[in-house]
Amino acid sequence: TGKDKIIKFAGCYHGHQDSLLVAAGSGLATLSLPGSKGVPEGAVKNTLIATYNDLESVKKHFEEHDDIAGVIIEPICGNMGVVIPQDNFLVALKEYLQTKGALLIADEVMTGFRSKFGGAQELLGVEADITCLGKVIGGGFPVGAYGARNEIMQEVAPLGGMYQAGTLSGNPIAMAGGISTLTELKRQHPYAQFNKTALTLENILLDTAKKYEVALVVNRFGSMMNPFFTKGKVTNFKEAQTSDTKKFAIFFWEMIKNGVFLPPSQFEAWFLSSAISKRDIKKIAIAVDKAMLAVSKM
């Protein structure tokens, strides 16, 4: 684009890259840090912060700056807890960016092949200009990938001037693991079962919280989910931060005591896998009951 600035959303994490380690969600939020030490001021001077689900906050930046190259976003946020786009937010964002000649970059490292074989973009009816992928596509091995419209990919060396290389690029073991995983996902197509299992767990959390009069909101997108110990809706990072992290800590440790291991942060997404059985769900339900009881005694 020939422009320097990029917009990201508060609470979204896009890897350990200096220019994007601003208001970056889960890890920093868990430790109550605004940013990471060691990131020089110059590295973030071209990074602008907007509010997720708030198109006006994006428009304001465009009104104030004429050198914005694009917007990077998690289609479904997973690093401020799971936060879902409201009121066709992504579609409206893409349409607006097109009027400005700016690119939409979708970070589907979490959602790619997880919520549907075509990722969150397929489910939400939006197509980004550039898509980043990881996690699932490696079948458990470290891997990252990106793709874009043809004219953008033509800019990547050796066809264009954007140099990209790495010691482990195209690593044979990671590629073999990824191909096998994607082949099985396409063959089994477990997404309906993922959704069914996740809905069951969502109801267990909500029903048990109600039983013990614990304020709880559950955000879920397919097999990604997150409980927030708060009363109101959670649609952005500021609202996610209203969650009672002390209650989450009690809940987390009680779940551990009862043999259920969760991500150790209020702001980390939960992921379900095809390996979870009905027997596992029963065990989780028992653990949730004990954990919610402990939370209710705070």
pLDDT of 40: 66
| Mean pLDDT on 153-162 | 91
The pLDDT, as a whole number, for residue 240 is 95
Amino acid 264: pLDDT: 92
C-beta separation of 215 from 229 below 8 A: yes
- Predicted confidence (pLDDT) per residue in 164-187, tens digit: 888 888 899 999 999 999 999 999
pTM of the model: 0.89
Query: Of 43-57, 91-105, 124-138, which gets the smallest average pLDDT?
Result: 43-57
- pLDDT score at 39: 66
Domains plus CATH for the chain? Answer: 5-186 (3.40.640.10), 191-296 (3.90.1150.10)
As a whole number, mean pLDDT of residues 12-26 equals: 68
Helix (H, G, I), strand (E, B) or coil at 109: coil
In which region does residue 15 sit, left (phi positive, over 0), alpha (psi from -120 to 50) or beta (all else)?
A: left
Dihedral sign from CA coordinates of 210, 216, 219, 223: negative
pLDDT at 25 over 60: no
Catalytic residue ranges: 13, 107, 135
Measured CA to CA, the distance from residue 109 to residue 127 in angstroms comes to 15
Output the pLDDT for position 33.
Answer: 44
- Indicate the pLDDT class of residue 96, thresholds 50, 70 and 90: very high
At 29-57, the pLDDT tens digits run 434 344 666 666 776 788 899 999 999 99
- Residue among 145, 139, 137 at smallest CA distance from 166: 145
Question: pLDDT > 90: what percent of the chain?
Answer: 79
Name the average pLDDT for the chain.
91
